Structure 1
C-alpha cells in the first residue's frame, strides 16, 4: 500500500519506519527534517512524562523500551542504556512509579537515604534507553530510506508546508504534524508546552538525574550535558530566556551538589505538542486519514509502541477497503 506520513519528528519518522517494516511504500512529506525539528531539541531519554497512565500507554512504553534496548546493541544508533535516578521530596507519593514495571525483568531498585541528594526522601534507579538526537534521528532516517529491511526504501520530501489535509483525499495519510495539527485539524485541545533547556560542556555523570516533582534533569551526552527544564503551558515563544536558562542550571545543582556544571554553552526552547490524551485514530470525516499527534513530552518514550498501534489501524482500514 502507498502511504503518506506528514511530519518528520520522532513520531513521524518512527511511524513511517514501522509502516515500511510492514511492507508498505511510504513517503514522508514535511516542512523540516532533522536537525531542524522540535524532536532535535529533546533530552530524549525513556521516561513517561506527564502522559495519561492507562493500559494503552503502558503497552506503548513497554514496547518502546524493548525496541530501543535492541537498538542500543547496534553501533551508531545513538541509543545507549544508562542509569536513571529519579528523586522525590515526598517519599509517600508513589504516583510517579507506575512506569517502572514496564522495564523488562523489573530491573529497578529503590534508593537508600545515602544515595539521595539533600532535601529528598525517596527515589528509584533504573536502566533506561538514552537517545542522543544528533545520532538517533539520522539513524532512523537512514533505516527508513533503506526500507526497514523489507521494502525498496522510503522517500522524504522536504520543504513542503502542509496547510490543509483535504489535499490528500483519496490516499492513505498519517498525520504526524505535532503542534501543527492545532490549525490543520482545528484541535483546540492541542497546546504548546514550552520547555527551555541548557547545554553545558560534558560532565562526569554516571547517568541521568531527575527531580520527579519538577521539570529539572541532567542528561550526560557526548555533545554536552543537557540540563532542563521548564513546563510552560500555552507558551508559543520558541526563543529561550537567558535568566531562565541560568536559573535552570542553578536549580539542577541540587541533584548533584558536589558537581560543578559550568555555564551554559547553548540553550534551546522547544514547544511540546501537549494534548490531554494522544490522538491516534482514523478521522471520522475523511476516509483514509489517520491522526497521530499530541504526545507532549513523551514522544520518544511511546514512539515505537504507538507506531505499532498505527500499523494495526492501517491493517484494519486495508481490510475494510
Structure 2
C-alpha cells in the first residue's frame, strides 16, 4: 500500500483521502462544507508493536510533600496517574520549591522517568549538583510508553480531592503548560496539534467546561456541525494542545541533564534505610508506582495502559479523543492507538483481547456510518 505524505496528499487532492477512508457521514447541515481529515489506516497488518505500561495512580491525586528520614529530607513527587507527561514540569516546580535550601549544594533525585528528569533539570538550573539514582533509564521507563498528549487526564478521583488539591493541580498545570511551550519545535519533539473530540452526544465539558479553572488551558476551541468532519461520529469539537514525542523527548532531556553536569547512577532501593544512607541530605522521590512499596503508600495503585502502535503516517498530524477506550495520537514514531486504564491490574503482558478492542473501536471512527 502506498503511504500518503503531506506532499502527495496536497498533490492528489481530497478525492484520494475520501477513497482511502471507508466513507463519510451520511448527512450534514445545509451549506456546510465537509472537511476531509486524513484517515488513519487501522489495519492489523500495520501494527508495529503493542506496549503496556503501569501508570502510578492515586485517587487522591499526585503527592508533593516533605518527609524526614532522620537527617535526610525526602521530597515526594509521584502519583500522576494519566498526567505524568503533562504535569512533569509543574509538580517538579512544586517539589523544588518545597525542597530547595540555599545552604545545600548536593541533591539526589530518585527515578529517571519524565518526573525525575524534570525535577533534576530544575535543580540544575538553580546551580545545584544533582545525582539521579534510578533502576531503569530510557527507553525502559514507564514514561517512554506514554502517549504524550498535553492534558492532565485521569490524575485523580473527583470525590477524593478537596479545593486545596484542585488549586495545586491547576498551579502545576499552569507551570507545565508554560514550560512546554518554551520547548516546542523539532529540537525537543514538542508540537502544537489539533485534537478532535468525537462522541455520540455533545461533550461541552471536554476537555474542561467554561468557568472551570482548567479552561484557561483550552486553546482554539470550536464545535462542528454534524457531518462537517469526515469522521464516523455524530458530534465533534476540537481544541489545540501540545503533543510530546515521548521517546525522543526523554532522550534529549537526559542529554541536557548530562551536559549541565548532572550525574546518573543505576541503582535500585529495597528500603528507606538505603535512601537515608545516600550522601545527599535532600532527596526527591520520583519513583512513581515504586513509591508505594518503598514508602508505604497504600493509596497508590497501577492503572494498566495498553497501546497499539501502527506504522507511521506522515499526513496524520492530529489527535482524537472519544471519552471511551478509543483515542489516537499521530506521532512521528507511529500512530498511537489507545487504550486501557485498568485500575489495580499489574500485568505487563499485552492482551490479545485488548488489542482487538483497541483496533476495532479506533477503526470504527473512520468507517462509513449507518444511513440516517
Structure 1 and Structure 2 fold alike (TM over 0.5) = yes
1:44 and 2:142 equivalent? Answer: no
> How far off its partner does 1:82 sit?
1.1
Q: 1:235 Cα deviation (Å)?
A: 0.4
Deviation string, structure 1 residues 18-46 (Cα, Å, up to 9, x no partner): 11112211110000000010111111110
Instruction: Name structure 2 gaps, 5 residues minimum.
Output: 1-104, 159-165
* Correspondence 1:179 to 2:289: yes
Aligned residues of 1:209 and 1:255 also touching (Cα < 8 A): no
Determine the C-alpha separation between the residues in 2 that align with 1:166 and 1:256: 54
Correspondence for 2:359: 249
Residue 51 of structure 1: how far off its partner (Å): 2.2
Once the two structures are TM-superposed, the CA of residue 11 in structure 1 deviates from its matched residue by 0.7
SS in 2 for 1:180: helix
Query: Offset of 1:68 from its aligned partner?
Result: 1.4
Aligned to 1:76: 187
* Pairing partner for 1:145 from 258, 276, 279: 258
Indicate conservation of the 8 Å contact 2:305/2:341, yes or no.
yes
The structure 1 segments of at least 4 consecutive aligned residues displaced by more than 6 Å after TM superposition are: none
Q: Is 2:227–2:234's contact at 8 Å kept on the other side of the alignment? A: no
3-state SS of 1:4 partner:
strand
Once the two structures are superposed, residues 76-129 of structure 1 have per-residue CA deviations (whole angstroms, 9 ceiling, x without a partner) of 2111111111223332662642444224xx4322333234544443x4322211
CA contact (8 A) 2:193 2:240 kept: yes
- Which deviations, in whole Å up to 9, do the C-alpha atoms of 1:159-182 show, x marking residues without a partner? x11112232337100100001011
Task: State which of 248, 257, 262 in structure 2 corresponds to 1:154.
Answer: 262
Q: Secondary structure at the match of 1:181?
A: helix
Residue in 2 that maps onto 1:57: 169
Rounded to whole Å, the distance in 1 between the matches of 2:176 and 2:201 is 29
Map 1:80-95 onto structure 2 (within 5 A): 80-91=191-202, 94=205
Q: What SS does the corresponding residue of 1:40 show, helix, strand or coil?
A: helix
> How far apart are the structure 2 equivalents of 1:4 and 1:19?
10
The CA distance in 2 between the partners of 1:187 and 1:136, in whole Å, is: 30
Superposition RMSD in Å:
2.0
Against the structure 1 CA distance between its residues 188 and 252, is the aligned structure 2 distance closer, same or farther, given a 3 Å change threshold?
A: same
User: For residues 194 and 124 of structure 1, what CA distance do their matches in structure 2 show?
Assistant: 28
Structure label with greater radius of gyration: 2
Instruction: State the match for 1:192 in structure 2.
Output: 302
What's the TM-score, normalizing by structure 2?
Answer: 0.62
Conserved 8 A contact 2:318-2:329? yes
Residue equivalent to 2:136: 32
Where does the alignment leave 5 or more consecutive residues of structure 1 unmatched?
A: 148-152, 259-321
Alpha-carbon separation, structure 2, partners of 1:111 and 1:3: 51
CA distance in 2, matches of 1:48, 1:124: 19
Alignment of 1:235-246 (within 5 A): 235-246=345-356
SS of 1:254's partner is: helix
Q: Partners in 1 of 2:225 and 2:170 — Cα distance?
A: 27
Residues 229-308 of structure 1 mapped to structure 2, 5 A cutoff: 229-257=339-367
